[in-house]
Amino acid sequence: MLWYGSPATDWEREALPIGNGSLGAAVFGTLASERLQFNEKTLWTGGPGSAQGYDHGNWRAARPGALAAVQDELDAKTRLDPDSVAAELGQPRVGYGAHQTFGDLYLDVPDAPQTPATYRRELDIANAVAKVVYTHQQVRHQREFFASYPDGVIVGRLSADRPGSVTFTLRYASPRRDFTATAASGRLTVRGALADNGLRFEAQIQVRGEGGTVTSNADGTITVTGADSAWFALAAGTDYADTYPDYRGKDPHTAVTGTLDKAGSRYDTLLARHVRDHRALFHRVALDIGQSVPADVPTDRLLAGYTGGATSTDRALEALYFQYGRYLLIASSRSGSLPANLQGVWNHSTSPPWSADYHVNINLQMNYWLAEATNLAETTAPYDRFVEALRAPGRRTAKEMFGSRGWVVHNETNPFGFTGVHDWSTAFWFPEGAAWLTGQLYEHYRFGGSTDYLRTTAYPVMKEAAEFWLDNLRTDPRDGTLVVTPSYSPEHGDFTAGAAMSQQIVHDLLTNTLEAARVLGDDRAFRTRLEAVLGQLDPGLRIGSWGQLQEWKADLDDPADDHRHVSHLYALHPGRQIEPGTKWADAAKVSLSARGDGGTGWSKAWKINFWARLRDGDHAHKMLAEQLKSSTLPNLWDTHPPFQIDGNFGATAGITEMLLQSQYDAIEVLPALPATWPDGSVRGLRARGGATLDIEWSNGRATRVALTASRTRRLTVRSDLLPGGESTFKAIAGQRYVWGEKV
Ligand code: FUC
């Protein structure tokens, strides 16, 4: 539960998010004029039809030999300055667009008090309901808001414990002027088309009163007068479709009308269905790290008073932050819309930071790190679909820019298949983006174990990404290995050949693709080719002069460098090339220590994961503490700054890595438990191989481990609770295995 003693005044810092994947809203709790800023995930400017023109980022004019010329230069020189490469290979970005706020619903309450007798604003993440409760002149008023996935609507209800006390006017407002708002029969209809690209949008809000009257006004507003209670449901959509090359589907009118009509006239039914749906996902995981918080401490004070984990109140914030990441993923990533963007689904602006887009040099991937392990595998469906939809434009980019097979996407993308480049020299060239994106699909298979999924969804996308690299790796004249060139370690340093991250990502992709090809029995010639290329590939692991894992193939690392990207540790996390106890892990630790404990929000979140993978629970916890102390807003949104949701998701993933890991062959119980969590329990975490685990621990040691298998297969579990520290056994689907005693 997040709760506060006063209304939100600032969207970014204080408003409370609800969402159902395609729709999102931020609740302010302002009394005289309740504000519900809302979003629909596909409402984007840019793309086909954009007034600026659009070309998917592909080179607008042919550049014969440009790529080969840069590669030739890098055969001879160690490094090239990014500006010079951008001058050769980049171009200004046009028609990229940005996610748009849909607008605001205001509920103007004429007799609302300036200073109510009591006030409380809360977000109940266990039920996914936001509430505002206040008393004024002995009347208790309550507002409830939720976003229902099963019914596809955002719902709000105002009630009071004295009959006839609910009076308000509902109106729509937008920072754009591209709409009409009309009201009839208690239904407010907003229709328009974005000036930039003609994307059509529509929202309908049906208002119903119990007692009192509902009046539809000529100015497109709706007034409820003297009701016992009143509620509204909002449905919204656009004519966006995720289909290349036009990205347009049907006018949203019929679907929006149908959704709202189908939602029906019973508030209680909608609420019950919503709560059931949310709880079925959210309550799969419970975490107890010895948290407790005095009832009178609101969340903003909990955060302000956080001292770094020493007290049970600190642990209350940590446990809440863990579950909040899961809440936010459920609210911003459900089947049927786009995946969670840089802000999930919440955006109050027409020009949000980085367009609230899909950065694929860490950010979109980080959004899904928690999904499998925290038992929310269903939330990855929009991600899969998005990656799948990138193939067609990505194939064209591979052909036009690289003259090769396969599909590719660079540093960032939008919903309109932007797979080419722009010319911001330190963040435009990242053809490894596609390969990295496929990693999550393979993880979905590793956790869930469905060969059907592997065959029909993951493998085709992986194979085609692999084909791109089979065509594009180049022999390094310095040592005869195969390298990515030109290669750019995200947002850092110079262009080189074979930067560590480039090599590690390609290594990961080819390894996963080979494993998958073996499982599926794909053709021998392709497998042989993968094996041969893996044999020649520079693995991207090299130890430098000060014991560090090198970020580049040449030893260029500066021990005083604290850059937020720690790209060369990809092999440690999210990759699995570096195993604990190896010299590579030692070198990764040297690099990570040198980078320090600072960084932007997502950078700190990544460091939680790194330290957990290095089996240093205390340092992982320190990074969590740093994130809570300096990269978290009062509404517990992660701040880069500005607000960027990847840090929320990355931190929840990191906490999970402290408690359970399974990236190698074994399931490791409590691999990085910090001293600040000596006693606790966690229920429902997932491990690769199709296992769900419940773990209890005391004095820093596991006391009970229960594993439920969802597949029949051999599993290895490691815990100091087991005789010899390890047990390998054939798990049977549906069976539960328990070690240790209930304490
Ligand atoms: C990457 C990061 C930035 C920011 C942006 C959205 O480019 O380097 O810090 O997070 O994504």
Domain 2-45+102-283 has CATH 2.70.98.50: yes
Q: Which of 602, 606, 649 to mutate to test the pocket of ligand 1 (most atoms within 8 A of CB)?
A: 602
Q: In what order do the strands lie in the sheet with 33-40?
A: 16-19, 23-27, 33-40, 103-108, 166-173, 222-227, 213-216
Q: State the distance from the centre of ligand 1 to the C-alpha of 239, rounded, in angstroms.
A: 29
Mean pLDDT of all residues in 300-321:
96
Q: Which of 96, 99, 341, 354 to mutate to test the pocket of ligand 1 (most atoms within 8 A of CB)?
A: 354
Ligand 1, residue 600: give the atom nearest the CA. Answer: 9
State the average pLDDT for the chain.
Answer: 97
Provide the residue ranges of all domains of the chain, joining segments of one domain with +. 2-45+102-283, 66-92+384-592
Q: State the distance from the centre of ligand 1 to the C-alpha of 658, rounded, in angstroms.
A: 25
pLDDT tier, 343 (very low <50, low <70, confident <90, very high otherwise)? very high
The percent of residues above 90 in pLDDT, for the chain, comes to 98
* 21 dihedral zone (left: phi>0; alpha: psi -120 to 50; beta): left
Q: State the distance from the centre of ligand 1 to the C-alpha of 563, rounded, in angstroms.
A: 12
The first and second tokens of residue 435, run together, are 């390969």
Give the CATH number of domain 66-92+384-592; options: 3.90.420.10, 1.10.580.10, 1.10.3720.10, 1.50.10.10.
Answer: 1.50.10.10
**Taking each helix axis from N to C terminus, what angle separates 646-659 and 312-332, rounded to the nearest 10 degrees?**
120
Q: Which of 363, 607, 638 to mutate to test the pocket of ligand 1 (most atoms within 8 A of CB)?
A: 363
Q: What is the pLDDT of residues 20-79, one digit of tens each?
A: 999 999 999 999 999 999 999 999 999 999 999 999 999 999 999 999 999 999 999 999
**Which residue type does 25 have?**
A
Ligand 1, residue 602: give the atom nearest the CA. Answer: 10
Query: Among 80, 59, 646, 592, which residue's Cα sits nearest to residue 361?
Result: 646
Q: State the distance from the centre of ligand 1 to the C-alpha of 132, rounded, in angstroms.
A: 35
Q: State the distance from the centre of ligand 1 to the C-alpha of 212, rounded, in angstroms.
A: 51
The first and second tokens of residue 7, run together, are 């209304």
Query: What is the DSSP code (8-state) at residue 574?
Result: T
Mean pLDDT of all residues in 623-646:
98
Q: Which of 492, 564, 595, 640 to mutate to test the pocket of ligand 1 (most atoms within 8 A of CB)?
A: 640
Mean pLDDT of all residues in 13-23:
98
Mean pLDDT of all residues in 276-296:
96
Per the CB < 8 A criterion, the answer to whether 615 and 299 are in contact is no
Per the CB < 8 A criterion, the answer to whether 436 and 454 are in contact is no
Mean pLDDT of all residues in 546-575:
97
| 221: pLDDT strictly greater than 80 | yes
Mean pLDDT of all residues in 293-304:
95
Query: What is the DSSP code (8-state) at residue 378?
Result: G
pLDDT tier, 281 (very low <50, low <70, confident <90, very high otherwise)? very high
Q: What is the pLDDT of residues 452-481, one digit of tens each?
A: 999 999 999 999 999 999 999 999 999 999
Q: State the distance from the centre of ligand 1 to the C-alpha of 344, rounded, in angstroms.
A: 15
Ligand 1, residue 363: give the atom nearest the CA. Answer: 11
The first and second tokens of residue 211, run together, are 């007692």
Q: Which of 359, 436, 488 to mutate to test the pocket of ligand 1 (most atoms within 8 A of CB)?
A: 359
So what's the pLDDT on residue 50?
Answer: 98
So what's the pLDDT on residue 743?
Answer: 46
Query: What is the DSSP code (8-state) at residue 586?
Result: H
So what's the pLDDT on residue 313?
Answer: 97
Q: State the distance from the centre of ligand 1 to the C-alpha of 602, rounded, in angstroms.
A: 9
Mean pLDDT of all residues in 579-583:
95
Which residues touch 452 (CB under 8 Å, ≥6 apart)?
none
Mean pLDDT of all residues in 403-431:
98
Q: State the distance from the centre of ligand 1 to the C-alpha of 561, rounded, in angstroms.
A: 17
pLDDT tier, 550 (very low <50, low <70, confident <90, very high otherwise)? very high
Ligand 1, residue 354: give the atom nearest the CA. Answer: 6
Residue 536 to residues 157, 368, 473, 479, 542, Cα–Cα distance (Å): 63, 31, 10, 10, 15
Q: Please give all residues whose beta carbon lies within 6 A of any atom in ligand 1, as ranges.
A: 342, 354, 359, 361, 363, 427, 491, 565, 600, 602, 640, 644
Q: Kindly tell me the burial class for residue 53, based on how many C-beta atoms sit within 10 Å of its own C-beta (0-12, 13-18, 19 or more).
A: exposed
The first and second tokens of residue 81, run together, are 């300055």
pLDDT tier, 153 (very low <50, low <70, confident <90, very high otherwise)? very high
Alpha helices in 26-164 (DSSP H): 66-76, 82-89
So what's the pLDDT on residue 121?
Answer: 98
So what's the pLDDT on residue 742?
Answer: 58
Q: What is the pLDDT of residues 90-130, one digit of tens each?
A: 999 999 999 999 999 999 999 899 999 999 999 999 999 99
Q: State the distance from the centre of ligand 1 to the C-alpha of 93, rounded, in angstroms.
A: 17
Q: State the distance from the centre of ligand 1 to the C-alpha of 444, rounded, in angstroms.
A: 25
Q: State the distance from the centre of ligand 1 to the C-alpha of 575, rounded, in angstroms.
A: 20
Q: Residue for token digits 């022999």?
A: 475
Ligand 1, residue 353: give the atom nearest the CA. Answer: 6
| 741: pLDDT strictly greater than 90 | no
Nearest residue (CA) to ligand 1, atom 11:
359
Torsion, Cα of 324, 304, 612, 740 (10° steps): -70
Residue 358 to residues 97, 339, 353, 354, 496, Cα–Cα distance (Å): 12, 9, 12, 9, 25
Element (H, E) at 627: helix 617-630
Q: What is the pLDDT of residues 495-534, one digit of tens each?
A: 999 999 999 999 999 999 999 999 999 989 999 999 999 9
| 324: pLDDT strictly greater than 90 | yes
Q: Residue for token digits 């990533």?
A: 333
C-alpha–C-alpha distance, residues 53 and 196, integer Å: 10
Ligand 1, residue 565: give the atom nearest the CA. Answer: 8
C-alpha–C-alpha distance, residues 59 and 77, integer Å: 26
C-alpha–C-alpha distance, residues 249 and 426, integer Å: 36
**Taking each helix axis from N to C terminus, what angle separates 312-332 and 267-282, rounded to the nearest 10 degrees?**
110
